[in-house]
Amino acid sequence: MEDPEAPYPSRPERIAGQGDHNLLLSDVTLSAEWRTAPAGDTIVIVGEDGMVQTACQVDVLILRKFLTDMGDLRQWVGDQPVEKALRSPEAWGDTVISRGHSGEVLTLDPELFWDRIYRWFRSRGVDYDS
């Protein structure tokens, strides 16, 4: 039986793999968004403050990672500059799909999603998970 007087361990001291409810706050507050604009498609990593932290130009490999197993969002390295004017996610275009830190779908535009899936994968005779 646990000692009710024992101090509750801080988040970093907890054992990994105890479930999402014990993740570091910085893990939980990140999300990833696939955005499309006339200039091209981009994956943006959005922080707790709602501002873009990282931006990656879309290619087939980046999209596969985003759609199947995003991994740790803190580890994504951007290749697009995120200047003051581009800190708002809306500056990167329309949202195709937005996913939370553990992969759950937060928002999805079905028509735009299937249009972009066709553009990036099916028009080339492949699927996103192949």
- Give pLDDT tens digits for 82-113: 888 889 999 999 999 999 988 999 999 999 99
| CA 128 to chain CA centroid, nearest Å | 16
In 47-114, DSSP assigns E strands to 52-57, 94-100, 105-108
**Cα–Cα distance measured from residue 62 to residue 55, given in angstroms and rounded to the nearest whole number:** 11
Phi, psi of 95 (to 5 degrees): -75, 125
pLDDT computed for residue 124 by the predictor: 74
Residue 102 in any domain: the answer is yes
Within a domain: 83: yes
- On whether residue 2 sits in a domain, the answer given is no
Task: Report if residue 40 sits inside a domain.
Answer: yes
Structural domains of the chain, count: 1
Q: For residue 7, is it within any domain?
A: no
* Residue 95, domain extent: 18-124
- Residue 6 in domain: no
- As a whole number of angstroms, the distance between CA 15 and CA 58 comes to 35
Instruction: Please check whether residue 8 lies inside any domain of the structure.
Output: no
8-26 pLDDT per residue, tens: 443 333 333 334 433 444 4
Amino acid sitting at position 41: D
pTM for this predicted structure: 0.73
